[in-house]
Structure 1
Amino acid sequence: MSLVGFSSAMDVVAWRGIVYTIFILHFVFPCQLLLLQPLVSALDNNPGNAAELLERVSRSIKVKRYSEALDDLKTAIEADPTLSEAYWHRASILRRFCRYEESEKNYKKFLELKAGNSAAEKELSQLFQAQSALDTALSLYDSGDFTKSLDYIDKVVLVFSPACTKAKFLKVKLMLATKDYSGAISETGYILKEDENNLESLLLRGRAYYYLADHDVALRHFQMGLRLDPEHSELKKAYFGLKNLLKKTKSAEDNVNRGKLRLAVEDFKAALALDPNHLAHNVHLHLGLCKVLVKLGRGKDAVSSCTEALNIDGELLEALVQRGEAKLLTEDWEGAVEDLKSAAQASPQDMSIRESLMKAEKSLKLSKRKDWYKILGVSKTASVAEIKRAYKKLALQWHPDKNVDNREEAEAQFREIAAAYEVLGDEEKRTRYDRGEDIEEMGMGGGGGGFNPFGGGGQQFTFHFEGGFPGGFEGGFPGGGFGGFNF
């Protein structure tokens, strides 16, 4: 090879070396510096760099960027396994998220490096308290002691582990169990602000709206969750369960409007059976059922349904009125008056309630008067002749002269029989009695209210029967009559 050729080859090699050097300086070194800067800073034992990293961690924690803080702490610890402050920060963050086992390891590592640190020892003690409280709260929830479980979550777990998702969801479930639906909505709202696609929060928040009978909003939450996960079993169950409830309710109401009352009764009962715990909706189902049963004349069943509604909402005026009407059907006059009087006091301007109350009071008053038809053993449609025959028969049967061995009872029965005939045997008095007028207040007897067929210092009556008594007792009973009565 000539000297010229050799020189040219050497020039090419030299230029290649220069190019590689430039590449290393302008690409590889900058990449290394970017990727390894945290490690270099931590490893060079420069207190300024460590302090700057920990300050960045503190800033991340303040704005709740916990993932960034944990990444920085991981980098720092990998760079310098003796950087005690990093372990303490990481232990604190993990405790907030109730990642207790990992947190405990980091506290213990810090205490190995900084033995006797009272602040760290205190935080480790708090970790154990929170861990124990969470386990206790879960056990109490399973056993049905919701109030006590909620105390453990609120007063211990979320104090020491405020970012614990498991505790937050348990708290929402406890609020639902204790019927604090507004509280459950607020708690899930905070979770959804951080993660708007959180399925558990959408489910629980939808349930809270459901139990407040805000069904449209509940459906929207269930639908939103199902769009994210169409196969989510709990969301599907909640969504289709609510749709079925609304369908049954509408069917019941439609049948009422169409006059198909018996079908409406079945629909109301079917809707109530779907979720006995849905009180905010069931109160209206019970009321609707009660009203239909009143129309059907099923007083006893109607009383039961209206009572169920009032057990849920004791101030539901319409249920009180309907129960009063139902008690009239069962002839519970006093109960009807009591319910309708309470309703009238609650709504003094409602004339329909006052009319119902007057009707109940009249029925109560009538129930306490003598039933002359029953005493004579005749129907309310009996003719004058039937009434007269019944009286003659009973008067003969209970005449005291014929009942020497039970004279007192016979006298009492005879008075009742005579008083009954005094009213029913007179067409005008009978008409007024049938209208519900108080015959006794007009000066009539009434069996002890002033009427005394035996004299006793009072007015004496003489009854004359055409044809005499059956059996030939014409002109009086054997023995010369009784007490001034001539038959």
Structure 2
Amino acid sequence: MAAGAECDVVMATTEPELLDEEEAKREAESFKEQGNGYYAKKEYHEAYNYYTKAIDMCPKNASYYGNRAATLMMLGRFREALGDAQQSVRLDDGFVRGHLREGKCHLSLGNAMAACRSFQRALELDHKNAQAQQEFKNANAVMEYEKIAETDFEKRDFRKVVFCMDRALEFAPACHRFKILKAECLAMLGRYPEAQSVASDILRLDSTNADALYVRGLCLYYEDCIEKAVQFFVQALRMAPDHEKACLACRNAKALKAKKEDGNKAFKDGNYKLAYELYTEALAIDPNNIKTNAKLYCNRGTVNSKLRKLDEAVGDCTRAVTLDDTYIKAYLRRAQCYMDMEQYEEAVRDYEKVYQTEKTKEHKQLLKNAQLELKRSKRKDYYKILGVDRNASEDEIKRAYRKRALMHHPDRHSGASAAVQKEEEKKFKEVGEAFTILSDPRKKTRYDSGQDLDEDGVGMADFDANNIFKAFFGGPGGFSFEASGPGNFFFQFG
């Protein structure tokens, strides 16, 4: 009786537990099936909920974790999926799909080495598994892309790094590390909007990501928004005080800002020598900051132009537009230097570039002025021939003609060599031509405005230097040249 009673007692205490366990299993299977149905319809959030219910009913069933891992992967939540996949293989090391999903999560997150271990284990369990074979190759490919990218980054071959990261991200779409490296290289290549976009996507998921904050700052820094860049660098250093790149970039940004501002102040104060030195020091801080350095070169070019070192000014402006071929201010500064140097063809070329970019009235007028000076430069400079300036009076022009005409008259050089006679005759004609134009108000106006003198009958078709000379000095017999020794002449007026 006692033994039987004891058995009854045992039966009475264990039978309900066994029934509850079986019921839990049946209910868990029901949840799993419903989850499978939602998964098949791509309603992953609902599938996730039902797989979670199944796990709650039977927390030691490997397949439930495996199914939920697959659902989380479809939702792009690879880190959570990795946890479920790892739990599934802890519960059942022979669960091939569990190892495959664990490897896939590792690979998606950019841990190719860990992914290889998971795929190798899947192959140990099923050496003919085609998925495991392919994924193992993919993981090795990612490791190779990482290796190449690391080498190319050191070589500063940023385009190659971007290419490698794009290929790696095809297999590791959730790897922030790969995305950050790509974004950093895009910034180094000047592709700032793309780099900003990548960094912003990461920050939306993780606002404390120091690497993403650094890249955002880097883009602003290279776009010459230095003050804003410093804010991002400081924020990155709050998240990761030992972030070397952010620390260096922050230091460079602050130094550049200070040197540039000091240079600007010296320039405004008229201390051009100090401004030149400060801009030069600023240029040595970071050769990679193209936009800021372009401005610094242009600023230094302006200093050189103030110091009348026009060749140096042109050189600095050329460096500026080499760094940034959209930098209008540098083209304008260089064009003005070319104008001051009377290199009008070069000035016209720069003003044309400016006007093509920004079609303003001011730029149009600058181009027109340069084109006029170019046209003038290709004609004879009658003012220079007579030795007078552009504001010379009528009397000054006459006196200049008298002096130059007598100086170069062929009779005065009749005893010289044939070469000298020819050269003096040429100069005599040019002096007469200059006087003909500058002594006639209509012709002078057209000449000064750069118009063609042959238009409207204002040209030199009937020009004769001797006739001009005779008319000016009163015709034949008005004077004569007499020699008073070899190469010496004096005038006798009748």
The alignment's TM-score, normalised by the length of structure 2, stands at: 0.69
Taking the TM superposition and a 5 Å limit, the aligned residue runs for 1:259-408 are 259-340=270-351, 343=354, 350-351=361-362, 354=365, 357-358=368-369, 361-362=372-373, 364-365=375-376, 368-370=379-381, 392=406, 394-395=408-409, 399=413, 401-403=414-416, 406=418
Which residue of 2 is the match for residue 28 of structure 1?
Answer: none
The corresponding residue for 2:12 is: none
The residue that corresponds to 2:32 in the other structure is: none
CA deviations on 1:307-335 (whole Å, 9 max, x unpaired) are 33433454544443333321121111333
Residue number among 130, 150, 153 corresponding to 1:118 in the alignment: 130
What residue identity is the alignment partner of 1:277?
N
In our comparison, the structure showing a higher alpha carbon Rg is 1
1:105 Cα deviation (Å)? 2.7
Match in the other structure for 1:27: none
Q: Which moved more, 1:459-468 or 1:309-318?
A: 459-468
Q: Which residue of 2 aligns with 1:174?
A: 185
Residue 132 (str. 1) matches residue 150 (str. 2): no
Matching residue of 1:4: none
Structure 1 window deviating more from structure 2 (82-91 vs 466-475): it is 466-475
How far did residue 207 of structure 1 move? 0.7
Structure 1 residues 136 and 416, CA gap change in structure 2 (3 angstroms): same
1:450 equivalent in structure 2: 463
Structure 2 unmatched runs, 5+: 1-57
CA distance in 2, matches of 1:106, 1:98: 14
SS in 2 for 1:162: coil
- Cα separation, 2, equivalents of 1:439 and 1:104: 80
- What amino acid is the match of 2:342? E
Distance in 2 (CA, whole Å) between partners of 1:449 and 1:294 is: 46
Shift of 1:107: 1.9
Corresponding residue for residue 195 of structure 2: 184
Letter in 2 for 1:358: N
- Structure 1 pair 234–327 and aligned structure 2 pair: CA distance change class (3 A): same
Aligned to 2:110: 98
After TM superposition, the structure 1 = structure 2 runs for residues 406-445 of structure 1, keeping only pairs within 5 Å, are 406=418, 410-417=421-428, 419-420=430-431, 437=448, 441=453
Q: Secondary structure at the match of 1:98?
A: coil
Structure 1 residue 205 corresponds to structure 2 residue 194? no
Name which of structure 1's ranges 465-474 and 363-372 shifts more when overlaid on structure 2.
465-474
- SS of the equivalent of 1:327 reads helix
Q: Structure 1 residues 250 and 166, CA, compared in 2 at 3 Å: closer, same or farther?
A: same
Going from structure 1 to structure 2, the CA distance change for 1:341 and 1:194 (only over 3 Å counts) comes to closer
Query: Deviation at 1:223?
Result: 0.8
2:113 match: secondary structure: helix
CA contact (8 A) 2:209 2:239 kept: no
Q: With structure 1 as the length reference, what TM-score do the two structures score? A: 0.70
| Deviating more after overlay: 220-229 vs 356-365 | 356-365
Whether the aligned pair in 2 keeps the contact of 1:97 and 1:161 (CA below 8 Å) is yes
In structure 2, the partner of 1:34 is: none
CA distance in 2, matches of 1:70, 1:89: 8
Cα–Cα, structure 1 residues 48 and 305, in superposed 2: closer, same or farther, change >3 Å?
closer
| 2:246 equivalent in structure 1 | 235
**Separation in 2, partners of 1:385, 1:137:** 79
- Does the Cα contact within 8 Å between 1:98 and 1:131 map onto a contact in 2? no
Distance in structure 1 (CA, Å) of the matches to 2:447 and 2:411: 30
Conservation of the 8 A alpha-carbon contact between 2:263 and 2:278: yes
Q: Deviations over 1:12-64 (max 9, x none)?
A: xxxxxxxxxxxxxxxxxxxxxxxxxxxxxxxxxx9993332323333444455
Give 1:133 shift. Answer: 2.9
Aligned to 1:153: 165
> Could you tell me which residue of structure 1 aligns to residue 44 of structure 2?
none
Partner SS for 1:402: coil
SS at 1:274's partner residue? Answer: coil
Matched letter for residue 105 of structure 2: I
Q: Which residue of 2 aligns with 1:86?
A: 98
1:467 deviation in Å?
8.5
- What is the root-mean-square deviation in Å for CA atoms of aligned residues? 4.6
Q: Structure 1 114/320 Cα, relative in aligned 2: closer, same or farther at 3 Å?
A: closer
Q: What per-residue deviation string (whole Å, max 9, x for no partner) do you get for residues 140-187 of structure 1?
A: 4334443333223213x1112223344233322321232222222222
Structure 1: distance between partners of 2:141 and 2:309: 60
- Residue identity (%): 21
Return the alpha-carbon distance in structure 1 between the equivalents of residues 172 and 384 of structure 2: 80
Q: Which amino acid aligns with 2:217?
A: G
Given the superposition, is the C-alpha separation of residues 314 and 76 from structure 1 closer, same or farther in structure 2, using an over 3 Å criterion?
A: closer
Cα deviation per residue 1:238-269 (whole Å; 9 max; x = unaligned)? Answer: 11211111112222333333333443333333
Could you list the runs of 5+ residues in structure 1 that have no partner in the other structure? Answer: 1-45, 477-485
Tell me if the contact between 2:453 and 2:459 (Cα under 8 Å) persists in the aligned partners: no
- SS of the residue corresponding to residue 63 of structure 2 reads helix
CA contact (8 A) 1:84 1:113 kept: yes
Q: Could you say if the C-alpha distance between residues 230 and 90 of structure 1 is closer, same or farther in structure 2, counting changes exceeding 3 Å?
A: closer
Q: 1:420-455 CA distances to partner (integer Å, 9 max, x unpaired)?
A: 26857999579x979974999599999x98335499
Deviations 1:47-106 (A, max 9, x none): 993332323333444455555544444444444433333322222222223333332232
CA pair 373-88 structure 1, distance change in 2 beyond 3 A: closer
CA distance in 1, matches of 2:80, 2:113: 21
